């Protein structure tokens, strides 16, 4: 169970046992709501609790996950908030921002990067060494770069951290030439099974917190999540469209 999943579990238990608290109303409503909600999650910073457009309902950020609580911390709401006037999914907009910030916090020297000389777009891909569509994507890495796409890899061994895929990911990271080792591993060729300090566990937990459920999972510079394999030319079209609408 990840830390975020544990916090969500604690939330459900707390909602059953939490004593009655003061309702959040008036000018001090936000401050009171934060006090009420932090009684459940004392480690939360105040800015992790923000009002929503719905009076009395607050957005609570747990890592890269969102949950909605009433100001008195009695009611929890799961799902998305939709603005029917603008036809906007406000929850997905918030998740996109959280993904963007989380990925931006990972330095490139903690990724394996394949980049053209003058990239037009950058994507971050959660990948599994043994995933068939991950291998298909990587077999076309030169074509992605020809499309002006910079590909930055993070590890997401779907079978878990104790799996053979995770051990291969660690060996790739510990290789002298990580890009060459990754390419060989994705071709099913043997690589030296070295061990060293590596980011595999960090990447895996980050992927879980960001809602990655399968590989490859592609995240754009703006935090949009594109699940699954996308051919190079089609991915360039998607990224161009997102950039044109300010979402790339």
Domain boundaries, the chain: 3-89, 103-244
Residues 180-231 pLDDT 10s: 999 999 999 999 999 999 999 999 999 998 989 899 999 999 999 999 999 9
- Active site includes 28? no
Angle CA 53–56–57, to nearest 5 = 65
CB atoms within 10 A of CB 76: 16
Q: Which of 34, 72, 131, 236 is catalytic?
A: 131
Q: What is the pLDDT of residue 190?
A: 93
Q: Which residues does 82 contact at the CB level (< 8 Å), separation at least 6? A: 88, 89, 90
Residues 49-102 pLDDT 10s: 999 999 999 999 887 778 899 999 888 888 889 989 999 889 888 889 999 999
Q: Which of 128, 135, 203, 236 is catalytic?
A: 128
Q: Which of 99, 134, 152, 236 is catalytic?
A: 134
Q: Where are the alpha helices (DSSP H) in 39-139?
A: 90-104, 132-139
Please state which CATH number belongs to domain 3-89.
3.10.450.70
> What tokens were used for 149?
């796409």
Distances from the Cα of 95 to the Cαs of 16, 64, 99, 101, in angstroms?
A: 27, 7, 6, 10
Rounded distance between C-alpha atoms, residue 171 and residue 142, angstroms: 23
Rounded distance between C-alpha atoms, residue 76 and residue 183, angstroms: 46
Q: What is the pLDDT of residue 247?
A: 64
- Evaluate whether 43 touches 37 at the Cβ level (below 8 Å): no
- Cβ-in-10-Å burial (0-12, 13-18, 19+) of 163 comes to middle
CATH topology of domain 103-244: Glutaredoxin (3.40.30)
- Active site includes 128? yes
Does 103-244 match 3-89 at the fold level? no
């Amino acid at each position: 169970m990840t830390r975020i999943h544990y916090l969500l579990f604690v939330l459900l238990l707390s909602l059953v046992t939490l004593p009655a608290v003061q309702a959040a109303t008036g000018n001090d409503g936000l401050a009171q709501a934060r006090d009420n909600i932090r009684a459940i999650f004392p480690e939360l910073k105040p800015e992790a609790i923000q009002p929503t457009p719905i009076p009395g309902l607050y957005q609570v950020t747990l890592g890269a996950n969102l949950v909605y609580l009433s100001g008195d911390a009695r009611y929890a709401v799961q799902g998305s908030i939709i603005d029917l006037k603008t036809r906007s999914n406000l929850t997905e907009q918030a998740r996109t921002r959280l993904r963007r910030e989380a990925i931006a916090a990972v330095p490139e020297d903690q990724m394996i990067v394949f980049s053209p000389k003058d990239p037009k777009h950058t994507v971050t891909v959660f990948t599994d060494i043994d995933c068939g569509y991950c291998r298909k994507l990587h077999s076309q890495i030169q074509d992605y770069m020809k499309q002006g796409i910079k590909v930055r890899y993070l590890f997401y061994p779907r079978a878990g951290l104790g799996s053979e895929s995770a051990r291969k990911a660690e060996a790739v990271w510990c290789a002298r030439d990580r890009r060459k080792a990754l390419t060989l591993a994705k071709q099913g060729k043997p690589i030296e099974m070295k061990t060293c300090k590596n980011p595999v566990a960090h990447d895996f937990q980050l992927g879980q917190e960001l809602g990655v459920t399968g590989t490859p999972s592609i995240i754009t510079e703006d935090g949009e999540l594109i699940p699954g394999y996308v051919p190079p030319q089609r991915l360039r079209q998607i990224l161009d469209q997102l950039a044109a609408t300010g979402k790339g």
